[in-house]
Structure 1
């Protein structure tokens, strides 16, 4: 990194005959600052399908509740109406008021389902002006903008700490003037130098997208944009930008250290070899994608090991609870405990009894309590009031196993909370547990380095917040309020809270609320980048906790899931009846498709998006069209699949089914050694096919150890 105040010669020529930036970063300094990373990747192009968006403002769509500044929203509506009627003076006066006034909310809605940063939303409205409006804007503001910018330059304050706020204000208020691109470029340099790479990328991208008459070299802007994306670990967008540079600026070079260099091979050398996604350790997220066909064991092959966790006392208690409570809790019989796996061990959370298993031998390493002790709780009414099966989670990272659970000593407490508990992965020793009496943690924790990201709420409160905790101590480091869920109450007064899903790439954290909202969080600035809102059924009653489990969604314990491939995101929420494909770079819906509520996303590849319920469905990845579907004897939760090059494998009540990805035909069935179960989750790890049912964990040896990938 450059020393503060070091003189650097700028590589570009400024318009207007002067260069007011004696300390700005050069392209060479950006390249040096970016650092070297291993080489990588191909760029993906996906056809776009037009989607009709709702006329309802995103914050008013039924579901997750997010507040916006209604006063600014009304001003924005006035501005856009004036623009439509070419009333330029009123429009420009309104946009000036919008930019200058303080906001009571950080977000404002767009017309395509997103809520974005208020300044960015106003900026988007400004840059969408037609040619006639842009000309009026320059006549109206150019003189004042140049004057304010010149005053900052003449006072030598362009690089002072106090200048950033003024420069940002000039950027948002006067971007379309003749100095707007210079200001954006300077802000990009400054953001890059202080390590805010995504913000730097946004500044440079705004010049490329919205300032067509800039005299700044387009090649240099693209190179700087790509560097910022690489440094911000947005490698998918970076790879796409490098492809643009190679196509549009073929043979052109930039000067680095006095030498002419082709930027394309250099930028490619900075990309990582693999586009890795840090995510919550779902059994179907990355480890279940193979590069070749999986050889299932033959019918005579014995399992490597098997562990039964459904104790007879627990089984009888489950049956008793169904009889005593008029058939309620039948979904308990189809419940499959969540699993987390590392290179040596597998970990499980069965109604708060957590245990670890050696992958190769099946030896029980430890357990937090005896399975038979659970039988004492299943006949207790308080346990049934507080129990939400979708809020038992387990994750493993380093020496830590993290779980969300109701401690056994609190199981019979009225409105018990779900505690976040850390165990040592080898010994099962409890290292710490969340202590706030009325705080409940409702999602699988995501570990990144020394931090844990998790969603929590206060009991009897529907406000969700994102927490960042210390991995070593569990102490809270910071929090971000997200909004309020819209959830029904059960007849015993308990709120049926959703179980959000977290996924991280670089400094970007995606949060699928499973309640009608998808958040993009900047971890660097600890702020919300944007929210995508979509309709969600608001009058939810969860039959998982009342009466017989007659609904397929309840029987299968369907969960929300999301999968990311470069800039594309595919997701479906629990309780929702639509699956979405989003372009994250363009912030638009590529397609959405109605689907039954019980279906859960279980994987993607280059051609298909796969969903599983009591049938497996393959949707065309580009259009969302249904290509094939096949009925399967799926009767329990843990919905997942192993996705290979030409086949997919699903663990059912009748064994492991091998399915052709071409047409959905059933190729083979391996009956296995858990025939009394209802099926469940499946994962391939260390050459073992691990099947988790409603009563046991069974590991089968495969006839060849396949190389696993992180998915497409």
Structure 2
């Protein structure tokens, strides 16, 4: 049991709550080290600063062009008034505005910060409160300390369990009067309650607020740090937990806490609950699940004369002729179909592909076609149909696999010639291809690659003729919708046929949170346990609704290469670039801060990340320094098709092009070798390493080459794109 330092105003309520806290702490001890170690976590990699280019970030990110998110304008105006009064040291008016701000019922859960973020309204108001200067804090206590004490005493005087009404009242006291003398007491009470309920993220936030913003607290600082670290561990925020454990070891060496009736050294106790590899922050090699496509050992391809282990051609002469006829009949508008590379998903036994709705499975070792949902040549009739050109968006054909279930978004064969056909979500048995279920909600079309976690499927959809995006959680077993969350309204663009095209969001899961890159001017973090928005980062999105290549005009490079938006993450640092955007961003999620951004051409797509560089691929491979965001080197490559990807080894990078596989030095961008391979008539495409095989997926075939020395493949993660 913790021995918690008593505040001078300790109450009967506080004594009652110690029992609940003990139960919560003892429950945390039941989490075995083995269970936690079964989860994969990364060791933090410190990244230096660099110039922060936040020139066009404003205090009203919701008003930027692009994705539309509703904000409570009345509360926003009150917040602006409050901050203006603070700047002019008009304390009485500031406190009046703050009181009205806290008591006004909100019509939207989000309010903007000055750094381009939209955060929870209560959190934003709290940020404004604790940023008050010392003179304002004195005025605040003079005005409200007596009232705050009375409310807290009335709350504490009530006997019995903490009901939801009493917790709501405590939260009101916390949000309105945290800077008073009882602010630390109510924060500790709320932290204990949240921990007891299994709500570890808010528990950590309440305890952290005392450590950060209540320096005169009489509560035990070591107890607060230990409870904060426990909440971080239970919410799988291991990097912050490791840093807190280090603080405890440095600031309280040899000091013990009371736990379960015994004096316990908190450092080894907390380390025993922390997953292996996350005990202390260090600059050790980053975990592969966070630095996607980063190989842990050198990659060696066989000599030119060595034949591939297998090759499967899916594009027959019938399809080739149909695509050529499509381009000729529709003024060249079918050109991007020539460069489409089907997305791939891989498990331990098979690779799976989605070629315009024809899904098929291939044995990973033999290359044998195990199953397919339709005949490839049957697609030819659809390429000759004008409705298909109007409705089809190649980026919406997605595929993923988990627990031997293959999930694919596609237009059903019988609907491919329908105007504005909907993209459905299908589930197939990975071994047989048998359809298990389809999500067929009336008028709903699925946009994103499904993300699977446990028995749940996360996917973004919209209703036809409606631009509002919805995040859905479905049952992996049945496809039944478990819950959904409205994100906001997208701004559609035009495709090569002058028709409306919706953005394709990208999902990535980290702990209990889900990142959603809208590819439309907004990056969301969603709390899965609370089914709510933690924050949104907004940035300008340049909308092109003009039909710039309707007839004979050249197809833009980003259309020809099917460039996708991507997120790559290394601990709290996130690097992303949207499809069709001309800027790449680096964010620090822990500090909710833009680290840097820099211009880049629209066709570039992030394809890799290591400790030094961010790698982007278009018709050249570019290496951007992670620290300074300067261009370290660039090399032109014969890239002519979609599936933009790269394998990043310790010293080299590998890219599959129209002239074979290029081996490129990561030191200076020099081309070291070219492996021509066996797919010599293709336009190139995607490259992946799985089970000791280098798999190259082109616009016409799938080819697997054995590595000279079998390299351990990396597990598929939320970072990786829908293709290889």
By the TM > 0.5 criterion, same fold? yes
User: 1:197-596 counterparts in 2 under 5 A?
Assistant: 197-273=200-276, 288-489=293-494, 494-541=499-546, 549-596=554-601
For residues 546 and 248 of structure 1, what CA distance do their matches in structure 2 show?
A: 70
For residues 108 and 560 of structure 2, what CA distance do their matches in structure 1 show?
A: 41
Aligned to 2:696: 691
Is the 2:352–2:360 contact (alpha carbons within 8 Å) kept by the matching residues of 1? Answer: yes
User: 1:20-31 counterparts in 2 under 5 A?
Assistant: 20-24=14-18, 25-26=21-22, 28-29=25-26, 31=28
Shift of the alpha carbon at 1:612?
Answer: 0.8
Q: Which moved more, 1:542-551 or 1:488-497?
A: 542-551
Aligned to 1:167: 170
Shift of the alpha carbon at 1:697?
Answer: 0.3
Aligned to 1:44: 45
Q: Which moved more, 1:211-220 or 1:62-71?
A: 211-220
Aligned to 2:678: 673
Shift of the alpha carbon at 1:13?
Answer: 1.7
Aligned to 1:15: 7
Q: TM-score, normalised by structure 1?
A: 0.94
Shift of the alpha carbon at 1:554?
Answer: 0.9
Shift of the alpha carbon at 1:490?
Answer: 5.2
Shift of the alpha carbon at 1:705?
Answer: 1.8
Aligned to 1:94: 97
Shift of the alpha carbon at 1:700?
Answer: 0.4
For residues 653 and 256 of structure 2, what CA distance do their matches in structure 1 show?
A: 46
* SS of match in other structure, 2:493: coil
Shift of the alpha carbon at 1:32?
Answer: 1.5
Shift of the alpha carbon at 1:292?
Answer: 1.2
Shift of the alpha carbon at 1:250?
Answer: 4.0
Please list the CA deviations of residues 615-639 of structure 1 after superposition, one character each: whole Å capped at 9, or x if unmatched.
1111111221211111111111101
* SS of match in other structure, 1:22: helix
Query: Which one of the candidate residues 170, 176, 180 is aligned to 1:177?
Result: 180
Q: Which moved more, 1:92-101 or 1:481-490?
A: 481-490
Is the 1:58–1:113 contact (alpha carbons within 8 Å) kept by the matching residues of 2? Answer: yes
For residues 68 and 161 of structure 2, what CA distance do their matches in structure 1 show?
A: 41
Aligned to 2:121: 118
* SS of match in other structure, 1:21: helix
Shift of the alpha carbon at 1:46?
Answer: 1.9
For residues 157 and 132 of structure 1, what CA distance do their matches in structure 2 show?
A: 39
Structure 2: stretches of 5+ with no match in the other structure:
279-287, 720-724
Aligned to 1:190: 193
Shift of the alpha carbon at 1:545?
Answer: 8.1
For residues 41 and 676 of structure 1, what CA distance do their matches in structure 2 show?
A: 41
For residues 239 and 551 of structure 1, what CA distance do their matches in structure 2 show?
A: 47
For residues 95 and 391 of structure 1, what CA distance do their matches in structure 2 show?
A: 46
Is the 2:82–2:93 contact (alpha carbons within 8 Å) kept by the matching residues of 1? Answer: yes
Is 1:108 the counterpart of 2:107? The answer is no
Shift of the alpha carbon at 1:536?
Answer: 0.7
Please list the CA deviations of residues 25-64 of structure 1 after superposition, one character each: whole Å capped at 9, or x if unmatched.
1485364255432297643322223343523510001110
For residues 422 and 225 of structure 2, what CA distance do their matches in structure 1 show?
A: 50
Shift of the alpha carbon at 1:467?
Answer: 0.7
For residues 630 and 704 of structure 1, what CA distance do their matches in structure 2 show?
A: 27
CA gap of 1:695–1:274, structure 2 versus 1, over 3 A, is: farther
For residues 545 and 11 of structure 1, what CA distance do their matches in structure 2 show?
A: 73
Is the 1:329–1:544 contact (alpha carbons within 8 Å) kept by the matching residues of 2? Answer: no
For residues 709 and 565 of structure 1, what CA distance do their matches in structure 2 show?
A: 16
For residues 28 and 463 of structure 2, what CA distance do their matches in structure 1 show?
A: 46
* SS of match in other structure, 2:139: helix
CA gap of 1:541–1:574, structure 2 versus 1, over 3 A, is: farther
For residues 197 and 101 of structure 1, what CA distance do their matches in structure 2 show?
A: 28
For residues 56 and 224 of structure 1, what CA distance do their matches in structure 2 show?
A: 34
Is the 2:497–2:550 contact (alpha carbons within 8 Å) kept by the matching residues of 1? Answer: no
Please list the CA deviations of residues 483-531 of structure 1 after superposition, one character each: whole Å capped at 9, or x if unmatched.
0111234597742101000001121010000000000001101101100
Shift of the alpha carbon at 1:248?
Answer: 3.7
Aligned to 1:32: 29
Shift of the alpha carbon at 1:242?
Answer: 2.8
Aligned to 1:141: 144
Shift of the alpha carbon at 1:286?
Answer: 6.2
Aligned to 1:3: none
Matched residues, number: 697
Shift of the alpha carbon at 1:542?
Answer: 7.1
* SS of match in other structure, 1:97: helix
Is the 2:291–2:610 contact (alpha carbons within 8 Å) kept by the matching residues of 1? Answer: no
Shift of the alpha carbon at 1:10?
Answer: 4.7
* SS of match in other structure, 1:141: helix
* SS of match in other structure, 1:301: coil
* SS of match in other structure, 1:337: coil
Query: Which one of the candidate residues 576, 597, 602 is aligned to 1:597?
Result: 602
For residues 84 and 182 of structure 1, what CA distance do their matches in structure 2 show?
A: 29
For residues 524 and 158 of structure 1, what CA distance do their matches in structure 2 show?
A: 24
For residues 446 and 550 of structure 2, what CA distance do their matches in structure 1 show?
A: 19
Structure 1: stretches of 5+ with no match in the other structure:
1-8, 276-282
Aligned to 1:5: none
For residues 695 and 21 of structure 1, what CA distance do their matches in structure 2 show?
A: 71
For residues 474 and 108 of structure 2, what CA distance do their matches in structure 1 show?
A: 26
Query: Which one of the candidate residues 599, 602, 609 is aligned to 2:614?
Result: 609
Q: TM-score, normalised by structure 2?
A: 0.93
Aligned to 1:4: none
Q: Which moved more, 1:181-190 or 1:17-26?
A: 17-26
For the aligned residue pairs, the C-alpha RMSD in angstroms reads: 2.1
Shift of the alpha carbon at 1:193?
Answer: 1.1
Aligned to 2:283: none
For residues 161 and 146 of structure 2, what CA distance do their matches in structure 1 show?
A: 19
